[in-house]
Structures are given as C-alpha cells and as structure tokens.
Amino acid sequence: MPLLTTPYARLDLIRQPDQPNDPLQAFDAADEYLLQHCAEQSPGQNARVLVLNDSFGALAVSLAGHGEIVSSGDSYLAHLALTKNLARNGQPADSVDFVAASQPWQGPFDRVLLRVPKTLALLEEQLIRLQGHLAPGAQVTAGAMIKHLPRAAGDLLEKYIGPVQASLAQKKARLLTATVAERPAFTSPYPTRYTLDKPALSLINHANVFCREDLDIGTRAFLPHLPGNLGSARVADLGCGNGVLAIASALDNPDAHYTLVDESYMAVQSAQENWQAALGDRAAEFQAADGLALLPKQSLDVVLCNPPFHQQQVVGDFLAWRMFQQAREALVVGGALYIVGNRHLGYHSKLARLFRGVEQVAATPKFVILKARK
C-alpha cells in the first residue's frame, strides 16, 4: 500500500477493521490537502490542534509531535485505527488525545482540521460545540473529496464559525476555511426525538445516529418478529443504533440479559439513555466496540442485528459479513442470530455458509427477517 507523504511525516497506515488484501487505502487526497494547508499556515509547536472525523488517523498521526493534538470523532473503529497507526509509525500512544463524540472537548484550540462527515447533522453538532473553544485568530479548515462535499457544509461553516473561503480543487479534493467571527450563541437541535406506538416508546437520537428523525423501515419490519419466550437468555443487539431492538425485546422478556453494541459512540449514548427511560435501572451492558470482538466465545444465546451496508462512503457487505462471523463465534451451540435485510442482498446464502440452519421468519416486499441457528 502507498505511504502517506506530507510535510509532517511519511506514514504507513492501515484501515480498520482489518480486511485481508484490502484494496482501499487509509487516506485520500483530502487528508493530503489538509496537511499541506496546515503546514503552510504553520500553527507552531505549541499550538493546540483539534482534528475532527479522522477516519483512520491520517491527520492526527501526521501531526503527532507537532503541537498538542486532540482527535475527536464518533467512530470506535476510527479510534482503534488511530491507536494502531500511532504504534505502527513509532509514535507514543499519548501523543494524541482522543475524545469520543459523546464527550465534550476542552479548548481553546488554535486550529481545527475537519473531515466533512457523511452525516451533516454531526457536522452541525460539532460546529455548535466549537462555541467558546476557539482561540483568538483560530481557523477551522474542512476538507473532503469534491464528490462528497455538499454545498450545505459551507453554509454550516458560515453560519456557526464565520466567513468561508473555498480552495481550488487539488486531486479532486477541496478545502473550506472559515475564519472565526462573532456569532450569536446557538443551542443545539440535537438530540432529536421520535415516538413509537408499538411498543409505546419515546426515543432520543444523538446527531450521528442512523435514521434519527424516524424509525428506519428495516427495523420497522423487524420489530413484530423479534423472538419471544427468551427466559434468562443472554441477548446482544449488534449494531444497536438507538437501542430500539433491544428495548422492545427486553420489554417482552423481563428475565433476559442484554448487551447493546455499536461502533458509534453517539449511538451507544442514545441507546443507554433510551434504555434508562424505558426500563429504569434494569441492568444492561453498553459497549462502543468493533462488533462482538470484545465478547467471549459462546457467551450469547441470541443476537439481534440490522446490519449496515456501508462504512463512511464505501458501500458493500463486508461489515455485515463480519458481523455474521462474530455472531457465530459469540453464540453457544444452538444459539440463534436474527437479522433483517434487503431481499436483494442475498443474506440467506451467506448465512448458510456459516450456520447449520437458516430459515425465513417473515418477509415484506422489500425485506426478509432470517433466523440462523448455530
């Protein structure tokens, strides 16, 4: 794989999760452009630099040792990549301070380098949070590949930070640099909230939660077909989002034990708050993690999953396939994985390669609900 070569460093970087013979690299031209721009601006050895949404550590690892570097984002996998890439390139683990998106950061910052996220609500939340955390003369520079840079990103920078200057295109990447100007105090519109009739729930959704305005149609198809009569089963909601699958299941299975896992810190935060609102102090485990990687083998009886079909802007079934493999490892013999998926994705044949029995529980014109038994 090519090395990332910038005025700061020459780095060997890997993506997360690991994928044998991964054809994708861990940086792109927008990372290179941001680092080139930062070097030209020369923030200085004592500058405090905030890096936002650094997918695999390309920005933060490059800047390590060149000031006080804080990296913040909503992806556990990005955090894992940062940790591994610091070690891979001989940088101390404490040369970059990571702050999960569910936690506040502490300014002031002299520079902010920002990768425009896929979810503009996350960008808006981050820009609002920057209020009071920018030093005099600070700049906020956002970068993206042009094909992933919506006009609304510049509008949000203008609204919350100050006047924006767009760069020329370079290797199909562009930068938007906002100069801090006086702005009124803004109140965040996040988290959002929606209600369900059955089960009767009011669910909050932090800014980066998938389908934060309404229940996604796959989950809506899944809910009436969740397994019942689970007794004291150990159940995981894999890729839990706001926690609705686990909460609905728990309401019908008062003695079951639940673990809610997602790689989004904001999803886990939402799930935990929703669980407490619906179920009070009933015990449950909440993990921001690489799927079920942290759970012991054969430690679960049931896994519930509405698998994703993309990682950032990359579409494919790699993450779903990996979730199925993790579920098989974590389930006891006789345990079951329940999933919902689009018909066209062909999950039945994929699951049949891993599990001894796969059956269709229900179907709609768009979705199938499958049960795979180990």
Are 145 and 220 found together in one domain?
no
- CA dist 140 and 97 (Å) reads 19
Are 220 and 160 found together in one domain?
no
What integer pLDDT is reported at residue 128 of this predicted model? 97
Q: Per residue of the chain (374 residues), what is the pLDDT tens digit? A: 789 999 999 999 999 988 777 788 999 999 999 999 999 987 777 899 999 999 999 999 999 999 999 999 999 999 999 999 999 999 999 999 999 999 999 989 999 999 999 999 999 999 999 999 999 999 999 999 999 999 999 999 999 999 999 999 999 999 999 999 999 999 999 999 999 999 999 999 999 998 878 899 999 999 999 999 999 999 999 999 999 999 999 999 999 999 999 999 999 999 999 999 999 999 999 999 999 999 999 999 999 999 886 444 444 577 888 899 999 999 999 999 999 998 888 899 889 999 999 999 999 999 999 999 99
Q: How is residue 155 written in tokens?
A: 């509008």
- Residue 218: give the domain boundaries: 192-373
- Chain position carrying tokens 């229900």: 362
Residue 187 within a domain: no
Which of 133, 155, 179 is the last residue before a domain boundary? Answer: 179
Are 110 and 131 found together in one domain?
yes
Are 47 and 169 found together in one domain?
yes
What integer pLDDT is reported at residue 313 of this predicted model? 46
Q: How is residue 120 written in tokens?
A: 């503009």
What integer pLDDT is reported at residue 314 of this predicted model? 46
Q: Which pairing describes strands 192-196 and 173-179: parallel, antiparallel, or unpaired?
A: unpaired
Residue 110 within a domain: yes
Distances (CA, A) of 284 to 168, 273, 349: 50, 12, 33
**195-223 pLDDT tens trace:** 999 999 999 999 999 887 889 999 999 99
Spatial CA neighbour of 245 closest among 228, 278, 222:
222
- CA dist 59 and 46 (Å) reads 17
Which of 116, 145, 179 is the last residue before a domain boundary? Answer: 179
Are 79 and 111 found together in one domain?
yes
Are 28 and 155 found together in one domain?
yes
- Chain position carrying tokens 């790689």: 263
Residue 186 within a domain: no
Are 133 and 241 found together in one domain?
no
Q: How is residue 76 written in tokens?
A: 């556990």
What integer pLDDT is reported at residue 309 of this predicted model? 63
- Chain position carrying tokens 């886990």: 268
Are 127 and 197 found together in one domain?
no
**247-290 pLDDT tens trace:** 999 999 999 999 999 999 999 999 999 999 999 999 999 999 99
Are 357 and 212 found together in one domain?
yes
What integer pLDDT is reported at residue 269 of this predicted model? 98
* Number of domains the chain contains: 2
Are 150 and 243 found together in one domain?
no
Which of 179, 204, 236 is the last residue before a domain boundary? Answer: 179
Query: What are the E-state strand segments in the chain?
Result: 4-5, 10-11, 48-52, 68-73, 96-100, 109-115, 134-145, 164-166, 173-179, 192-196, 201-205, 234-238, 257-262, 285-288, 300-305, 310-311, 314-315, 331-342, 357-363, 367-373
Distances (CA, A) of 205 to 194, 198, 217, 267, 274: 8, 18, 16, 7, 9
Are 96 and 207 found together in one domain?
no
The whole-model pTM stands at: 0.94
Residue 184 within a domain: no
What CATH number does the domain containing 165 carry?
3.40.50.150
Residue 19 within a domain: yes
What integer pLDDT is reported at residue 20 of this predicted model? 77
Are 164 and 197 found together in one domain?
no
Residue 211 within a domain: yes
- CA dist 344 and 321 (Å) reads 15
